[in-house]
Chains A and B, each alone.
Chain A
Amino acid sequence: MLVTNKATIVQMAGIWRQTATLCSQLSGRSFSRMSTKDSIRNASRSRRVLFCPHIRPFSTTLPIFNERKPDGKKVEEDLDALVTGKKRPMTGPDLTEEESVVFKVAKPKRRNPLGFFNVAGMIIFAGGLALLINYKRRVQRAVDAHKEEQGSESFGKALIGGPFQLIDQNGGIFTQESLKGKFSLIYFGFTLCPDICPEELDKMAIIVKNLRKQGVDIQPIFISCDPIRDTPLVLRKYLEDFDIEGIVGLTGSYSDVEACCKAYRVYFSTPPDVTAEDDYIVDHSIFFYLMDPEGEFVNVFGRRYDAQGASEEIAKKIKKWVPAKDRRESSFQKPSFWKFWE
């Protein structure tokens, strides 16, 4: 407290005297009344003021006013006020023992800087809030994951695939039953294709190699859309050019090939009445078909997939695949509110 005003000092001196009187009342001892000089000295000492003349500009500090005897009721009131903390007492360095006791007892309670709140309550509240936010975030994540899973599942089976009967490059019969037991990758093309089929077959070679490196057993199949010119021997020679181990080349009669292409929704433009000597290009849809070990259709990959992209997608689908009897609707698992670490 900075006090530089002389008047204030003198007033303080008066208050010192009053406090001294109070103490004398309490202790039952009568002190020698503090002289004005002493009071001022006390005030000046406690307030660290350099000089203090004996001037009393205010009448309230005249002895005539301060010498009246304090009435009992006022003393009681003041004492109560001091003890309960309603009135702040003077504090200072030159206190007598009695005065210091009074002041210690009458020290008011420090106001809580937080006021209404307390620290423990705030911590619990913050903890609860964090838990709630975390829970909301986990629920959102679970919903998104479930939605993605639901979205990628085929909604109803695509009507691709079905029974067929063709001949492989060694003359053996190949039907849809031969697809069972392992995953298959089917490509429809023809041997006299200018550039697209060779490109796609090279892509297939990379895909099959990648998948076999990952331990996936996949059967590559090449089905000819040009049965008139593509005999089993032709297929065998053609497929030797491509570094695909275990590739199966299929052909057959025109009606059998037409039936297979229809089952797989493959468009092809070979008319039925051409002969082997004719020179023509077959216009056909360019897709890879992924079939599962039960001979059912899984997914189709068009020209926008490159070799790496296609191998990754196929690997994903194979990893996710479950046999039909073990398949069931994926249910949404609601996360637990309390287990925030999950």
Chain B
Amino acid sequence: MMAELHSSKREDTQVITRSEREKCWIARDKYFACLDKNRIMSVANQDSSMCANERSDVDSLCRQSWVDYFIQRRERTLQIDAMKRFRTQQAHDELDAREATSREELRNKFVKR
């Protein structure tokens, strides 16, 4: 009961094998390492001069939808991590401030004025 919707020409080319996938991943990792080195978080806003070689490798070895997906996912993860770091730093600053005020109050209590 093969569906007639699917054309037989497409079937063989659509399958991506394990080795092809791994080649794509290696190129992606190299590209991302280059971006990390140059401290680029958002690729869309940058000009394409940075890490151009790596990017061309990725584009050739991976499907376009995959490339976009990988880049988007990386950006999202970096944003979340940055937000987490910011929030923890905020929390620490708040705790320090609170501790300082309580210390000040204690000191004022015992100092003769």
Residues of A within 8 A of B (CB): 167, 171, 173, 191-192, 194-195, 198, 228-229, 231-234, 237-238, 241, 252-253, 276-277, 279-281
Give the chain B neighbours of A194 by CB distance below 8 A: 21, 24, 62, 66, 69-70
Q: Are B69 and A281 in contact (CB under 8 A)?
A: yes
A127 CB to nearest chain B CB (Å):
57
Q: Determine the residue in chain B with the shortest Cβ distance to A227.
A: B3
Verify if B10 is at the interface (C-beta below 8 Å from A): yes
User: When the two chains form their complex, are residues A171 and B15 in contact, meaning their CB atoms are under 8 A apart?
Assistant: no
| B contact face: mostly helix, strand, loop, or mixed | helix
* CB-defined contacts of B65 to chain A, threshold 8 Å: 192, 279-281
Evaluate whether A279 and B11 lie within 8 angstroms (CB atoms) in the complex, with A171-B2, A194-B70, A253-B3 already known. Answer: no
- How many residues belonging to B are interface residues under a CB distance threshold of 8 Å? 24
**In whole angstroms, how far apart are the Cα atoms of A306 and B46 in the complex?**
38
Distance in angstroms from A283 CB to nearest chain B CB is 10
What are the 4 closest A-B residue pairs judged by CB atoms, nearest first? Answer: A231-B6, A237-B15, A279-B65, A194-B66
Which of these, A171, A228, A276, A279, contacts B63 with CB under 8 Å?
Answer: A279
Q: Which residue of B lies closest to A252 (CB)?
A: B3
Q: Would you call the interface of chain A mostly helix, strand, loop, or mixed?
A: loop
For B69, the chain A residues whose CB sits under 8 A away are 194, 281
Query: Which residue of the partner chain A has the closest CB to B70?
Result: A194
Q: Do residues A238 and B64 form an inter-chain contact, with CB atoms below 8 A? A: no
Chain A residues whose C-beta falls within 8 Å of the C-beta of B45 in the assembled complex: none
A241 touches B3 (CB 8 A): no
A194→B68 CA distance, assembly (Å) = 11
Q: Which chain B residue has the least Cβ–Cβ distance from A198?
A: B21
Q: Judging by beta carbons under 8 Å apart, are A171 and B1 in contact?
A: yes
> Is A228 a contact partner of B2 (Cβ separation < 8 A)?
no
Interface check B17, CB cutoff 8 A: yes
B residues 1-22 near A (Cβ < 8 Å) are: 1-3, 5-7, 10-12, 14-18, 21
Give chain B nearest CB distance to A231 CB in angstroms: 4
B-side contacts of A276, CB under 8 Å: 5-7, 10, 14
B7: A residues at CB distance < 8 A: 276
Interface residues of B in 42-76 (CB under 8 A from A): 62-66, 69-70
Return the chain A residue nearest B73 by Cβ.
A194
Separation of A317 and B38 alpha carbons in the complex (Å)? 50
Whether A231 pairs with B63 at a CB distance below 8 angstroms is: no
Contacts of B21 in A (CB 8 A): 194-195, 198
Known interface pairs A192-B63, A195-B25, A241-B17. Does A234 touch B11 (Cβ–Cβ under 8 Å)? Answer: yes
Question: What's the Cα separation between A100 and B1 when bound, in Å?
Answer: 122
Residues of A within 8 A of B63 (CB): 192, 279
**Once the chains bind, are B14 and A234 in contact (CB under 8 Å)?**
yes
Using A191-B14, A198-B21 as known contacts, say yes or no to A231 and B3 having CB atoms under 8 A apart.
yes
Chain A residues, Cβ within 8 Å of B5: 228, 253, 276
B58 CB to closest chain A CB (Å) equals 12
Report how far A252 CA is from B64 CA in the complex, Å: 26
Chain B residues near A192 (CB-CB < 8 A):
14, 16, 63, 65
Contact with A along B67-98 (1 / 0, CB 8 A): 00110000000000000000000000000000
**A281 and B66 form a contact (CB under 8 A):** yes
Complexed CA–CA distance, A192 and B62 (Å) = 11
Q: Which of A167, A171, A229 contacts B14 (CB under 8 A)? A: A229
Give every chain A residue within 8 A of B12 (Cβ-Cβ): 233, 237
A229 and B11 CA atoms in complex are apart in Å by: 8
Cβ A191 vs Cβ B1 within 8 A: no
Q: Which residues of A contact B62 (CB under 8 A)?
A: 194
Q: Given A233-B11, A277-B10, list of 17 further CB < 8 A pairs?
A: A167-B1, A173-B1, A191-B15, A192-B65, A194-B24, A195-B21, A198-B18, A229-B10, A229-B14, A231-B2, A231-B6, A241-B17, A253-B5, A276-B6, A276-B14, A281-B65, A281-B69
A281 surroundings in chain B (CB, below 8 A): 65-66, 69
